[in-house]
Amino acid sequence: MQIKVFDIKMGKGIIILGNRNRNRNIFRLLLLVCLLFMISFPSFSQYSKRLKPKKFEWTKNWGVNLNMGATSFFGDVSLYDDDYADKLKKESAVGYGIIFSRRINSLFKLEFQLLKGKLKGKNSKSKFEANVLEYTFNATLNIVNLLLPENNGRFFLYVKTGFGQFRFSSRLAYKDPEKEDRVVNTGVPEFVFLLGTGAYYSISPSFDFTAEVNGRMTNNDQIDGTKNKKDKDYYSYMSIGITYNINNAKQHYRKFKKTPLIRKY
C-alpha cells in the first residue's frame, strides 16, 4: 500500500490510495459498463416502445363508402319479378347511400348504412311509386380471406347480412279513372332484414372500388299501396361505390406495387 500526505494552505489532508492495479481494473470496469449502457440504450428504447400499447387504436381501420345504383321492388304491383333484366329496365329507380364501416380483422367488418331511393312497379290494374329511407346495421364476411388466410391480393368477395328500419311513402294510381289514388305512409319505422353479397377491388391502400347486390325483406305489405296476406313486400339494391379507408395501411404499403387479383404465399 502507498500513502501520500500533502499540505495545503487551508490545512492538511491525507489521501489513501490502494493498489494501483486494482484501481485501474475498477476504472476499466466502470468505463466498460458505461459504454455498454450507451450502446444498448437506443435498442432498449426501441424495444420498450414496441412493448407499449398502441394509442388511439380505435381510430384505425375505419372506412366511408359512397354508393349509387338501382332500387327494385318485388311485390303485388310488379310484373317482372322473375326477369331481372326487365326489372332493371322497367321497374327500377335510382338509389344512393353512404356506409360507415369498421374492419375488425381480415374476415369481419361492421357497418352502419343509410339508403335513400325510389321504388316503382305496375300491373294490369295499377301502378305505384314510393320513396324509401332506411338505415341498417350490417356485418360482412370476407370469403377470399376465409379460404386463403395468407392472401395478399387486390380482389375480394364477401357476404353481407344485417337488420334495421325503414320508412316509406307511396302513391298507388289505378288505371280505372273512377278509382282514386291511394296514398300510404308509415307512421313509425318498419323492420327490414338485409341479406346479400358483394365484391371490392383494392385500388390502393386508401381506396376500394365496390359492387353489391342486397335484398331487403320487410315487415310490411303496403309499400305498393296494396295488401296481400300471403307475402310481404321486399326490394333490392344493386350498387357500385368507392370506399375511402382511414388510417388503414402500413407506410411501406403505400407505394404502388403490382399484385395479382388473388395471391397466396
What is the tens place of the pLDDT at every residue in 211-235? Answer: 999 999 988 888 888 877 667 788 9
Does 264 map to a domain? no
Q: How far apart are CA 117 and CA 93, in angstroms?
A: 7
Task: Give the pLDDT of residue 31.
Answer: 57
Task: Give the pLDDT of residue 167.
Answer: 92
21 and 74 housed in the same domain = no
Its domain, for residue 16, covers 6-51
Average pLDDT over the chain, rounded to an integer: 78
Q: Does the CA dihedral 215-220-222-223 come out positive or negative?
A: negative
107 and 209 housed in the same domain = yes
Share of the chain above pLDDT 70, in %: 71
Q: How far apart are CA 98 and CA 66, in angstroms?
A: 5
- The model carries a pTM of 0.71
Nearest to 121 by CA among 172, 49, 193: 172
Does 261 map to a domain? no
Q: How far apart are CA 113 and CA 162, in angstroms?
A: 10
Task: Give the pLDDT of residue 15.
Answer: 39
Letter for the amino acid at 49? K
66 and 173 housed in the same domain = yes
Task: Give the pLDDT of residue 255.
Answer: 42
Task: Give the pLDDT of residue 187.
Answer: 73
Per-residue pLDDT band at 130 (split at 50, 70, 90): very high
When comparing pLDDT for 29 and 248, which is higher? 248
34 and 160 housed in the same domain = no
212 and 148 housed in the same domain = yes
Residues 6+ apart with CB under 8 A from 4: 15, 17
Q: Is the pLDDT of residue 9 over 60?
A: no
Does 259 map to a domain? no
Does 23 map to a domain? yes
Does 260 map to a domain? no
Residues 6+ apart with CB under 8 A from 234: 74, 75, 215, 216, 217, 218
Does 263 map to a domain? no
Pull the grid cell for residue 184: 300510404
Report the CATH number that the domain containing residue 154 is assigned in CATH.
Answer: 2.40.160.20
Q: How far apart are CA 129 and CA 182, in angstroms?
A: 11
Task: Give the pLDDT of residue 179.
Answer: 84
Task: Give the pLDDT of residue 184.
Answer: 86
Task: Give the pLDDT of residue 8.
Answer: 39
When comparing pLDDT for 224 and 20, which is higher? 224
The number of folded domains in the chain is 2
Does 180 map to a domain? yes
